């Protein structure tokens, strides 16, 4: 039986339990997947106890994506380089940390023009996006509220040119704009202008649509929304937690249908 949960704070809005349970039901598996409120302060004690409680694994959301790197867990090399992990898988008496955010970004952006990219924000999800785009994007510009984030981001980009600007930097001239800022900062994004031909990707799904997504739809940009990212990263987690191979295209369609009913 699969025993898993999504961890973070706040967690009540998460649609991960709905999506995972729908997937396991379709796969004919017994499963218990829940949402658990967990803060940074309580995480070390929780994880130590969890090693002996029969957990299959965990999905991590804010603020925990950067919390596992001093935990003694096994860390996949790319997650360690990005300092961002959204998945814990229990095996051989310990948790392994990895990023299904990164693989989700790779698939979602596969057919998107991305020579010149702007990423707004510098947290765990932004670093996963950078890890996915490193080498496929020639230039990646970050718009940051705090310059302290820049050093960690420099270490991820081994092949793409990376530049750093403040939040006032214009968004004209980019092929792809990715917003990773919280809802409280979405008005900053919505107040900006970018080329109609650019793809706009907002990683948030609550609230939906965000102010930035509304702006993109108004000017006719191609959009990728946070619900697509949520489903895409969940596909890899479902594969890892279940140990089963399945048709991602079929499961993606089903889970997007399930998620859209909640909007």
**CATH number, position 155:** 3.40.50.720
Mean pLDDT of all residues in the chain? 93
Q: Specify the pLDDT at position 70.
A: 82
Residues 115 and 218 in one domain: yes
User: Confidence band (pLDDT; 50, 70, 90) for 76?
Assistant: very high
User: Confidence band (pLDDT; 50, 70, 90) for 161?
Assistant: very high
Residues 114 and 196 in one domain: yes
Residues 20 and 85 in one domain: yes
Residues 209 and 124 in one domain: yes
Buried b (16+ CB within 10 A) or exposed e, 95-118: bbbbbbbbbbbbbbbeeeebebbb
Q: What is the pTM of this model?
A: 0.95
Residues in the chain: 263
Residues 209 and 130 in one domain: yes
Task: Please enumerate in sequence order all residues whose Cβ is within 8 A of that of 4, keeping only pairs 6 or more positions apart, or say none.
Answer: 20, 31, 32, 33, 55, 56, 57, 58, 59, 241
Instruction: List beta partners, residue 3.
Output: 32
Residues 204 and 216 in one domain: yes
Q: Specify the pLDDT at position 109.
A: 98
Number of domains in the chain: 2
Provide the residue range defining the domain that includes 136: 103-224
Residue with token string 């089903």: 254
């Amino acid at each position: 039986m699969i025993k898993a949960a999504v961890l973070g704070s706040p967690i009540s809005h998460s649609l991960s339990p709905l999506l995972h349970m729908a997937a396991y039901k379709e796969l004919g598996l017994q499963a218990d997947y829940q949402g658990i409120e967990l803060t940074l302060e309580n995480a070390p004690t929780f994880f130590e106890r969890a090693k002996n409680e029969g957990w299959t694994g965990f999905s991590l959301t804010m603020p925990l994506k950067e919390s596992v790197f001093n935990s003694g867990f096994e860390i996949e090399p790319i997650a360690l380089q990005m300092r961002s992990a959204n998945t814990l898988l229990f095996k051989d008496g310990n948790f392994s940390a990895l990023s299904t955010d990164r693989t989700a970004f790779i698939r979602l952006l596969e057919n998107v023009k991305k020579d010149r990219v702007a990423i707004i924000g510098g947290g765990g999800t932004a670093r996963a996006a950078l890890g996915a785009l490193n080498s496929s994007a020639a230039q990646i510009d970050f718009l940051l509220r705090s310059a302290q984030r820049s050093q960690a981001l420099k270490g991820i980009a081994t092949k793409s040119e990376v530049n750093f600007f403040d939040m006032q930097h214009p968004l004209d001239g980019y092929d792809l704009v990715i917003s990773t800022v919280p809802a409280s900062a979405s008005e900053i994004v919505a107040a900006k202008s970018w080329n109609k031909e650019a793809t706009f990707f907002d990683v948030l799904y609550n609230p939906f649509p965000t102010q930035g997504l509304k702006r993109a739809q108004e000017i006719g940009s191609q959009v990728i929304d946070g619900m697509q990212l949520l489903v895409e990263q969940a596909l890899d987690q479902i594969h890892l937690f279940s140990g089963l191979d399945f048709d991602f295209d079929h499961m993606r369609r089903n889970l997007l249908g399930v998620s859209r009913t909640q909007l």
